[in-house]
Each structure stands twice: as C-alpha cells, then as structure tokens.
Amino acid sequence: MITIKTQNEIDKMRKAGLIVRDVLNIMGDNIKVGITTKELDKIAYEHIISCGAYPSFFGYRGYPASICVSIDDEVVHGIPSPKRILEEGQIVSIDVGAYINGYHADAARTFEVGQVSAQNKKLIKVTEQSFFEGLKVLKDGVRLGDLSSAIQNYVEKAGFSVVRALVGHGIGKQIHEDPSVPNFGTAGKGVRLAQNMTIAIEPMVNMGGHEVEFCPDGWTVKTKDGLPSAHYENTVVITSDGAEILTL
C-alpha cells in the first residue's frame, strides 16, 4: 500500500534526509587512496549516531554495516571490510540511510578515487543527471512510467544501460515501502503518483549491459560483464507542481 505522508511526517523525513546528505558529504571528504571501506563505514556510523539517529541499513535483514560501499563493477550492496583498500582510479558508490523520530531517508552517490578515466567520469555524470531528468517530469498526478522512462531514455541515449534487476522504492516509516520505482519503463503506464508521496529514486547505471549477478555473500551485486557501474539516489517528496529533494 502506498502511503500519503502528512506535513509532520515529511518534516521528520526532512530531518533524516539532512543527516544522510551530511554523511555523503563526509564520505566525499574522506574517500582517498589508502582508506579502507571499513574505515568509511565507521566514520558514517559515528556521524549518524552523533545526530541522535540510527543507520537504516545496520541489521536490516542481517546486513552487517551502516553503509554499502560498491567498487567499480559492484552495482550495489558491497559490504565494508578492513581488507578492502581504495586504489587510484577506482569509482566507489556509497549508499546510506538514517532513521530518526520514526522515519527513514536514503541516498547514494558515486565518487572518484584519485584520477579516474574519462569514461568513468562520464558514467558518474550521466547517472547523476539521469536522476534529474526523471525529476523534471515529477509532480502530482503523473504516472510512475513517466519517471522511469525519462531516466531510461536519457541513460540509453548516452550509450549506457540501466539495471533492471534492482529498483528504487517508496520510503517512510520503513526503509522500503510501496511503490517499487524502476529506472526503466513506458511513459503513461504504472501507478499514478500523488502529492506527499515519498520515494527513493536511484538510477543504477552500467557502462556495459544491464545484466547483473548476485554474489555468494548474499548482498553484493556485480555487473555480469565486469564493466563499471554507478549509483545516484535521493529521497524525494512529490509536490503539487514538482518534487522536493530531502537528501540534497
């Protein structure tokens, strides 16, 4: 069931969103050659707790960390480890959620480690912009497919592909709520979106084909062809004439 939030609920989500925004900014400041993904996780955890919030992902379905750290061909859900050290030229996707006053917010960014290739820079830029291309069509009354197709069309025109096995989601009292929010689809199709719905829009874009594989750790998802992937996500609330980003 899709829930319409009250203004009070949106205010609570806005607070969670600002914590998530700040964590991602802190991640950007700390991502460098030589740091471990576990160190990044510790930094994120400590900031979220210091804000009086709790990491949405920690313990979710048994997930063992506060953030997901996915490197190069890892699409999403990479588990932080003291053995994984960031190296020059990698791209790193950080996904994080925060829970406070009974409500969640969720966002992701892909960062560069040192100097990265021109193609990887393009992949990151296209992934981010595809989110904003989707945002352009959002407002009270549009169909979910209008959002999904706007993202897909932009990505594919740039020569990349959108992951189909994973999608965005509604968000609020639960980290994952209805509706599912695909990054592919047909304009004019799907559920009708309404004012004060809150959703997490998260394009996952592959340099090669859209196919992915699920790793034995039960979490990490990689591209099937081994080519890089990027991730960009924000929690938004739909308004009468557009959408407000709660995590930016």
**pLDDT per residue over 75-132, tens digit each?**
999 999 999 999 999 999 999 999 999 999 999 999 999 999 999 999 999 999 999 9
Question: Mean per-residue pLDDT for 155-169?
Answer: 98
Question: Mean per-residue pLDDT for 9-15?
Answer: 98
* Residue percentage of the chain with pLDDT more than 70: 100
pLDDT of residue 27: 98
Provide the pLDDT confidence category of residue 193 given band limits of 50, 70 and 90: very high
pLDDT of residue 93: 98
pLDDT of residue 89: 98
Question: Mean per-residue pLDDT for 134-149?
Answer: 97
pLDDT of residue 48: 98
pLDDT of residue 144: 97
pLDDT of residue 95: 98
Give the chain's mean pLDDT: 98
Q: Is 160 helix (H, G, I), strand (E, B) or coil?
A: coil
> All domains of the chain, ordered by start, with CATH?
7-245 (3.90.230.10)
DSSP strand pairing (204-206 vs 234-238)? unpaired
